[in-house]
């Protein structure tokens, strides 16, 4: 579930939704089929931001995954889709400068540059 932090702006409490996820986890003890079920909540909110009822703590079962910005080495494979090798490398350096290595922004801008380059090649540019 992407952009889970949106629940903060809902006009109703989402506590029951998160409690239901917790029940699926607890239910694994009696229903082995539930072991096949995994929830991935993506966003910028902390558990405390999402749960209004302080007596409820359904997030002590999860794992926080922090996504770090791309390093130039990690982003290097993206250069392959940006024109020729040398131009792709310099374009990627500039993209990383603009995005600060933010994973989504970097990939999105690389995609836009690659698509624009494809259109130029089709037109003979």
pLDDT averaged per 10 residues, the chain (length 125):
80 82 90 92 78 68 80 94 82 95 93 76 46
pTM above 0.75, yes or no: no
Alpha helices in 14-102 (DSSP H): 15-26, 47-50, 72-75, 85-99
User: What is the number of alpha carbons within 13 Å of residue 118 lying toward its C-beta?
Assistant: 7
Quick one: pLDDT at residue 121? 47
Which one-letter DSSP state was computed for residue 70? Answer: P
Q: How far apart are CA 110 and CA 108, in angstroms?
A: 5
């Amino acid at each position: 579930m992407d952009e889970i932090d949106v629940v903060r702006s809902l006009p109703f409490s989402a506590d029951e939704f998160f409690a239901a996820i917790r029940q699926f986890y607890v239910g694994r003890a009696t229903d082995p089929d539930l072991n096949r079920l995994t929830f991935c909540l993506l966003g910028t909110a902390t558990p405390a931001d999402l749960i209004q009822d302080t007596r409820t703590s359904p997030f002590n079962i999860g794992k926080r995954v922090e996504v770090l910005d791309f390093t130039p080495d990690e982003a290097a494979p993206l250069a392959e889709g940006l024109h020729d090798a040398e131009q792709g490398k310099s374009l990627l350096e500039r993209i990383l400068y603009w995005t600060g290595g933010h994973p989504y922004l970097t990939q999105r801008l690389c995609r836009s540059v690659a698509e624009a380059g494809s259109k130029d090649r089709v037109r003979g540019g």
